[in-house]
Structure 1
């Protein structure tokens, strides 16, 4: 796979021969930051595609995850979390990407956290109603609600004030309730042949996924707000003759002080970030990886529209 490839991770593969009731369509997984959309996507497709961290706004790009079965092919779109008070260009870009995604799908799945409905949840609901997109509600993290009786008045209040085609209770982390959700999604998709091969899990390139795996380590290892001032750019992705994927990546920060923190004492932090990201790449790409990392400073990149476009933050 070369640097410009934008095909599924498993290759083109052969398209499954659909029966006359085979269904296929785009489904947006939408919600405010940190409700578990990426964990849900990974569970639904059976593959760790979207990076995951406890921090809000871990997802910065629309990511397509493909789940193919005998009944149909569901094209899940994991969207950035829609949030209010977007003061920086990066946040506004993420909001535009999320709103754009829900305007293009056959079905929207609004994901919320068990027992919580916030102003940001309400804003997303209003956006879905405005698009007139058929919508399901997924209440995630139900395993964290020990007293299930508190769910009854919470859901009753939601149903009284909002209209959803159906409500599903799931734990993406523990993979509970996913089969029922998948069945509910499939029956609402149009009858049509598949778009992708049955072995494909995404339309994203290995180059993109490599950048995401480095960024995941930044989200997991750096404290407070520093991860939000970083992004990752892949400068080189080459498959060498010895079968090793050689990857050169730049971690961009906004200030010199941030650069020092990312590098760490004697380079220890950067080494740890690189080692963990490399191991994850080797598992996903199924070959050895040689990864080199640099840290560079670009002041104000988070508010620079041209830099955001350079780094792949587009609608």
Structure 2
């Protein structure tokens, strides 16, 4: 524990650390409990919050697993992405994230120092997002049974009374906005794996977006829906939403915020940046009358400084999503088929 000599023997996780005995207790107390539940804190298994008693409030619940490789990358790590991913799933559904659980599948031989860094990263991100990690679990598997470390997080939040966000709310005439550049996370993971050397370092956009969503809702209270553009990128997120709403989303290539480095990488590898994963970028829809207010609110927030209006909603055409190219032609933006980049989150 902090301020005391470590009882852990060796610098790597062994099968004994998952065996239910003294070694497991020492690992949990020194690596996890001391960070997630410091001595003197209340019993965190009792979930109490004033919002739960508010008439009309609803609970939201989500879960996600994370297997990203490498475990650490510029801008984040598997712990940070686990917190951000679950917080963001709650936030885009209109919930205010409150509590998380975290479960770890640890490969025999995993460095304890790496595990400590991941756990501390999770704690920092949870604090920044305004959530508490209240319960968890660890399992150790034989070497080769998993790749270093897998993390599963579940999250609980509260949807305030009267808040209804969902793709079915989207209407023709609505405006689509994103809060930042597209494709940075996917490009970062490619570079971190050594698949491509980039002349300019790119960092993952991994970040929690709960505070940003609340800021936009304060400025544009009639916001229709939001979705975090993770696996499958912006293209897949928009296709899912347009299909559910029964509309067509018309994008404009010239308005899409994509770094030149990411565009160049995609041209070399034959990838489309619209399908690259993001871990801190969302797309949301608002009525046209509230688009400017939403854009200003996003740009005034640290997590939305690169916000842009990227498209508009029309009556349903022959396909859910199209984009207007720089040459004035239109191109179908279909749902991602297959896997462009495995294990990006």
TM superposition score normalised by structure 1: 0.31
Q: Which has the larger radius of gyration?
A: 2
